[in-house]
Structure 1
């Protein structure tokens, strides 16, 4: 009986985390560059149930003793691009492909941006991010291109971090902000000649985005640069920098609302189970024990 009590309690904790994840997504429906988070749940390890009869043991079957919310997974799918009209706003439009090592054809990723090989290996679609740097010199990655320019011409992210160029240096503007022109590859255009000035916005391509860690405020970092396979974008990558646009949140409001209600109902069901066990234990102590 006590085992069932613990199982129901574990279910309540898991559903609470699912509910918290869904409400976080809903709260960021209008956050620029926000990426939806999904909660992944797993069962506790199986235990073998056996019956003892006449000195022999007969297997009854396997039983899961609970569930737990193992991790939260970010969905890096492309959000809608919204025109802002500001010359210092940027968005990334990407369709990065990966060749299947067996056939050489481009991998057909599913709706969540992943592909499972026949051998069971999971391959994620590469993603592109603007590269920014914090005060400690750590590189961070964001899809929020709502930038600003300081009095000294430094380009800053929405979180106040330095935006980097393609050489890993802070991006500094020398001309008037109103005349800023950037082409689809992120090259700053010299307004006098109409040609690239030699400075390029630093866009990083991350081959294994599942290695990124969410820091909050729309930025991510990688604990292991090599494991994430991070590099700066080149001309062969299928991506475009859109000036005067911002990427909206990729949260699906209908789906997260369903997830939130499902988590609430499952939490309520586990709560009823605990109340049942509490009533049964009360009768065991106060009525059965009296006989």
Structure 2
């Protein structure tokens, strides 16, 4: 098989993967605290980095892809809602899941049927333990201390990890360390903002532009594959006539 078809097919595969990533980013453009994903590509030469000799049928290159999360901050919107919380600066809220602790910047919290503070997906927000709120007036100060009718009921855990973050997504808004032994450190200062919400860091316009570019690249690679296939078919037919 002509070696050129391998490069075109590699381009098709890489474009399909990138389309999946961009589509997921766009689907979460309105998801609070969502962090967009990105891909990197590296063309690797076959045979330990040696370029194949002209006239061989060896595949000269293939594309290796790597995924990473862009942890840049999204814009912060004032909502005025009591349980909407944003982190001013670096850090994550701690969440208790059935698999253990997870970390998020998605602060659109709510109360469950028992008065427990939970995430939009129903996971318990950690304050060293469950945070139960039974009262009419809820204040959450910049240190994350929760006061209900003037009485303290708990303090939100806000932690951070060394950069660059070695975190992997667990769902669209939760993260867990790639190293299970990683120990987060408490965030110092007064980072919590009540009545505010960090939005997704996805720019719909930028993602749409990249989506169109990737679709065109995919179409170009598809045309190249068809051209190589037509050439191979023509060559076989001509040889057959001889």
Q: How does 1:188-227 map to 2 (within 5 A)?
A: 188-189=146-147, 191-192=149-150, 197=152, 199-208=154-163, 210-227=165-182
Aligned to 2:131: 171
Q: Distance in 1 between matches of 2:25 and 2:54?
A: 47
Q: Is the 8 A contact 1:159 1:217 kept in 2?
A: no
Relative to structure 2, which stretch is displaced further, 4-13 or 210-219?
A: 210-219
- 2:43 alignment partner in structure 1: 43
Q: In structure 2, list runs of 5 or more residues that go unmatched.
A: none
TM-score computed with the length of structure 2 as normaliser: 0.89
Per the alignment, in what secondary structure is the counterpart of residue 13 of structure 1? Answer: helix
Q: Secondary structure at the match of 1:139?
A: strand
Aligned counterpart, 1:22? 22
Please list, as runs of the form range in 1=range in 2, the aligned pairs for 1:276-287 lying within 5 A after superposition. 276-287=227-238
Query: Are residue 157 (structure 1) and residue 111 (structure 2) matched?
Result: no
* Map 1:25-104 → 2, pairs under 5 A: 25-45=25-45, 46-50=49-53, 65-68=61-64, 70-94=65-89
Query: Aligned-residue CA RMSD in angstroms?
Result: 2.2
Q: Unaligned 5+ residue runs, structure 1?
A: 53-62, 95-126
Note the alpha carbon deviations across 1:248-276, whole angstroms, 9 max, x for none. 11112222122111111111111111111
1:230 aligns with 2:233: no
Question: What is the rounded CA distance, in whole Å, between the counterparts of 1:44 and 1:133 in structure 2?
Answer: 42
Q: Distance in 2 between matches of 1:163 and 1:252?
A: 28
The aligned residue for residue 13 of structure 2 is: 13
Give the Cα separation in 1 of the matches to 2:146 and 2:119: 17
Q: Deviations over 1:34-62 (max 9, x none)?
A: 1111111111233234579xxxxxxxxxx
How many pairs are equivalent?
Answer: 236
Compare 24-33 and 41-50 and name the one that shifted more: 41-50
Alignment pair present for 1:180 and 2:175? no
TM-score, normalised to structure 1, is: 0.75
Report the counterpart of residue 213 of structure 2 in structure 1: 262
Change (3 A) 1:130 1:209: farther
8 Å CA contact 2:12–2:221 kept in 1: the answer is yes
Cα 1:259–1:51 shift into 2, 3 Å: closer
